[in-house]
Amino acid sequence: MCGIVGYVGKHPVTRVLIEGLRRLEYRGYDSAGVTVVKDGQFQTLKSTERVEALAKDVAKAKLQGTYGIAHTRWATHGGVTLANAHPHHSSDGLFSLAHNGVIENYLKIKKFLLEKGYTFQSETDTEVLVNLIAYHYQKQPVAADKNRFLESVRRSLRHVEGTYGIAVICKEHLGEIVAARRGSPLILGVGDGEHIIASDVAAIALHTQSVVYLNDEEIVHVTDKDFSLSTIDEDDIEAVIHTVDWSIEEAELGAFKHYMEKEIFDQPVALENAMRGRFSDDGSTSKFGGLNLSPQELRQVDRILFCACGTAWHACLVAEYLIERYARIPVEVEYASEFRYRNAPLDKNTLVFILSQSGETIDTLGALREAKRKGHKTLAIVNVVGSTIAREADGGIYQHAGPEIGVASTKAFTSQVMVAAMMALHLGRIRDMSYSEGQAFVEALKQVPAQVQSILDQSEAIKAIALKYVDAEDFLFLGRQNLFPIALEGALKLKEVSYIHAEGYPAAEMKHGPIALISPECPSVFLVAQEDTYQKTISNIQEVKARKGRVIAIAHEGGDFPKDLVDDLILIPECHPAVQPILATIPVQLMAYAIAAARGCDVDKPRNLAKSVTVE
Ligand code: G6P
């Protein structure tokens, strides 16, 4: 969380920094701030409101400079106050720093610095780091070479425990920015006579498509014309410049009111892109270019572990149902944050799958590293190209869902489920799935974008249903088998964006507790499968109706669903059972969006959340 940006170059610096912050705001929006350098002096403005408020203040103050740094904050150490907003200055006034991450040993360092006479204005761990840099700077001889600034940052970082992506500027080294990372993402954009440092390509792509992804423990010294990359331990590194294919247009809101709405409607295209070029010529299986595992090696896998956080964890649960059913490989699903500290015993033939939209979630990255440390093969399903998880996994599959800006994940989720379904097919076909079953599976997948579009075409009707329940303060989402994860996702979506309390349960499990909540005030959304558990789910609906609960059912067309049993019915197309989780997701997303928008919630930036969680 937190977004940092730094710029030195030919364009007006405040414009570049503010535009960068706008594109990083999904990483946290508790406060924002900017420091630019003019006539050798720091000009700093901060706001405890959103980036737009800061942008207005910057325009009003006519803030100008030649280069600078900026930050958008997701609060960890210290409340949302101006004093705690970044950038932070050293108490001698020489340094200004923007930081993403957590300095875990900051209290110890702070004690040391207080004894040396340094003073602090904020409660943050960041202010400790900037003063530590000032301390190391003063310790070096004044006649030290031109690297004195870089060296003082490097030396300070050697004493730091925890995570950081930082950008630092120094009044005695004008036109230079030093940036470094450990655990928090940091990317250098390399332009013609300009350089930009940011937490995400989104803030860079306006200026250049040439980027250097910093790895952990790397530090970069930047001027407008030049940059040099090295490790914290002082080894020089040859920078590898990548070209990013990042389209600014894809991240524009267009005619939609919110990114969440736009991204819900992006789904037919995102799903098409997840499949593009990934079916065999005979149309009976899927193929992936980046697995780095041969069919023989995949055949050796006798267990799969999926790790992720949040919505991606729900996609893992769908993957469990699909892979166990169609490939007959036992699957376990773990919260990444639990797995990395649990020391779970894993058989040597366990393949570890990591799912992450951003590819930067720190707990998920931690789980990946733990699995690799233990010698397991790791594969990742990631949306953001070039992200840390994508680079560190042994192989993987890009989702190609396009930029997802809304904090509540929508198109990334259905695209993860699509990739998981394709993986189930792939693994199934190198085991027991027949040629004709494979062909039927491929055909079913290919129909999904059009089926999703047909549900989106009903969006006005779904919205009208959702608005009947806008005043509810509690909701239940219930589904069985591969629709149980969609019940969890439906509940999560609603609570994230509308702040309504919602719980997802397996429909049958409702009898063992949640049924106590049933009343006319607590509506239930039932996700009704086409096959197997269809009749059982209808019985569960009867149980709710018998207790005067209101029911919205999401069921398939073409069946004999008893319409009069429920208060509201949303029909989705008949489909192959493997893809019903994708189709059933669309109405719950539309409902969550409609209710949140009607309640006047900040749909794209819900309170307390951030899209990319880079602290533990
Ligand atoms: C945060 C976001 C969620 C997201 C989760 C995992 O909690 O608010 O929307 O599902 O992180 O993110 P990832 O990028 O790893 O999929």
- 323-351 pLDDT per residue, tens: 999 999 999 999 999 998 888 888 889 99
User: Which tokens belong to 614?
Assistant: 């880079």
Given a cut of 90, is residue 511 above it in pLDDT? no
Atom of ligand 1 nearest to the CA of 358: 14
Q: Is the CB of 611 under 6 A from ligand 1?
A: yes
Tell me the C-alpha distance between 348 and 584, whole Å. 36
Residue 5 has pLDDT above 80, yes or no: yes
188 has a pLDDT exceeding 80: yes
User: Distance between CA 552 and CA 570 in Å, rounded?
Assistant: 8
Nearest 5°: CA angle at 240, between 188 and 395? 100
Are 83 and 126 in contact, with CB atoms under 8 Å apart?
no
Cα of 609 vs centre of ligand 1, distance in Å, is: 9
Residue 592 in tokens? 């969550």
Among residues 391, 396, 388, the alpha carbon closest in space to that of 182 is found at: 388
Type of residue at 23 = R
The whole-angstrom separation of Cα 240 and Cα 212 is 6
**CA of 389, closest atom in ligand 1:** 15
Residues pairing with 351 in the sheet: 304
pLDDT digits (tens, 9 = 90+) for 367-414: 999 999 999 999 999 999 989 999 999 999 999 999 999 999 999 999
Pairing label, strands 210-213, 187-190: antiparallel
493 among known catalytic residues: no
Choose the catalytic residue: 2, 170, 309, 522: 2
Contact at 8 Å (CB) between 168 and 97? Answer: yes
Collapsing DSSP to helix, strand or coil, 234 comes out as coil
Of the pLDDT bands very low, low, confident and very high (cuts 50, 70, 90), residue 559 is confident
pLDDT surpasses 70 at 143: no
Q: What are phi and psi of 441, to 5 degrees?
A: -65, -50
The angle formed by the CA atoms of residues 182, 185 and 190, to the nearest 5 degrees, is: 110
Angstrom distance (rounded) from CA 552 to CA 455: 16
CB-ligand 1 contact for 47 (6 Å cutoff): no
Confidence grade of residue 144 (pLDDT, cut at 50, 70, 90)? low
Q: Is the pLDDT score of 510 beyond 70? A: yes
For the stretch 416-430, pLDDT in tens is 999 999 999 999 999
Give the model's pLDDT for residue 155.
95
- The burial class, CB within 10 Å (0-12 / 13-18 / 19+), for 244 is middle
Let me know if 2 is a catalytic residue.
yes
- To the nearest whole percent, how much of the chain has pLDDT over 70? 99
The rounded distance, in Å, linking the Cα atoms of 439 and 417 is: 19
Count CB atoms within 10 A of the CB of residue 358: 26
d(CA 300, CA 291): 15
pLDDT at position 106: 95
> Of the candidates 480, 8, 438, 419, which has an alpha carbon nearest to the alpha carbon of residue 197?
8
Query: For all residues of the chain together, what is the average pLDDT?
Result: 94
The residues pairing with 307 across neighbouring beta strands, listed in sequence order, are 334, 354
Q: What is the pLDDT of residue 611?
A: 82
Q: CA–CA separation, 395 vs 377, rounded Å?
A: 9
CA–centroid distance, 310 to ligand 1, in Å, is 5
Query: pLDDT-based confidence at 249, cuts 50/70/90?
Result: confident
Nearest CA owner, ligand 1 atom 4: 310
Q: Give 337 Cα–ligand 1 centroid separation in angstroms.
A: 12
Strand partners, 505: 478
**Do the bridges between strand 177-182 and strand 187-190 make them parallel or antiparallel, or are there none, so unpaired?**
unpaired
pLDDT on residue 345: 87
Radius of gyration of the chain (CA): 26
Residue 38: per-residue pLDDT: 95
- For the chain, residues classed under CATH 3.60.20.10 are 3-244
Q: What is the pLDDT of residues 445-465, one digit of tens each?
A: 999 999 999 999 999 999 999
Cis peptide before 185 (omega within 30 of 0): no
Q: Is 367 in the pocket of ligand 1 (CB under 6 A)?
A: no
CATH of the structural domain 249-457, one choice from 3.40.50.10490, 3.40.30.10, 3.90.226.10, 3.40.50.720? 3.40.50.10490
Smallest Cα–Cα separation from 471: which of 606, 598, 589? 598
Residue 361 CB less than 6 A away from ligand 1:
yes
pLDDT band for position 145 (50/70/90)? low
Distance 413 CA to ligand 1 centre (A): 10
| pLDDT number for residue 57 | 96
Residue 377: other Cβ atoms inside 10 A: 21
First vs last C-alpha separation in the chain: 10
Q: What confidence score (pLDDT) does residue 254 get?
A: 85
Residue 247 has pLDDT above 80, yes or no: no
**285-320 tens-digit pLDDT:** 999 999 999 989 999 999 999 999 999 999 999 999
Q: How far is CA 612 from CA 364, 368, 404, 602, in A?
A: 11, 16, 11, 18
Of 26, 29, 611, the one to substitute when testing ligand 1's pocket (max ligand atoms within 8 A of C-beta) is: 611
pLDDT in tens, 104-130: 999 999 999 999 999 999 999 999 999
Residue 426: per-residue pLDDT = 97
Query: For residue 384, which atom of ligand 1 is closest to its CA?
Result: 14
Whether the CB of 337 sits within 6 Å of ligand 1: no
Residues 125, 128, 130, 135: what is their CA dihedral angle, to the nearest 10 degrees? -160
Domain 459-603 annotated CATH 3.40.50.10490: yes
**Ligand 1 contact, 267 CB (< 6 A):** no
Cβ–ligand 1 distance for 407 under 6 Å, the answer yes
Question: Is any ligand 1 atom within 6 A of the Cβ of residue 614?
Answer: no
**Under a CB-based contact definition with an 8 Å cutoff, are residues 2 and 100 in contact?**
yes
> Which of 316, 358, 404, 602 to probe ligand 1 with, by most ligand atoms within 8 A of CB?
358
- Superfamily covering domain 3-244: Aminohydrolase, N-terminal nucleophile (Ntn) domain (3.60.20.10)
Q: Is 357 in the pocket of ligand 1 (CB under 6 A)?
A: yes
Determine which residue's CA is closest to atom 2 belonging to ligand 1. Answer: 611
Instruction: Say if residue 51's pLDDT is above 80.
Output: yes
Q: What residues does CATH 3.40.50.10490 cover in the chain?
A: 249-457, 459-603
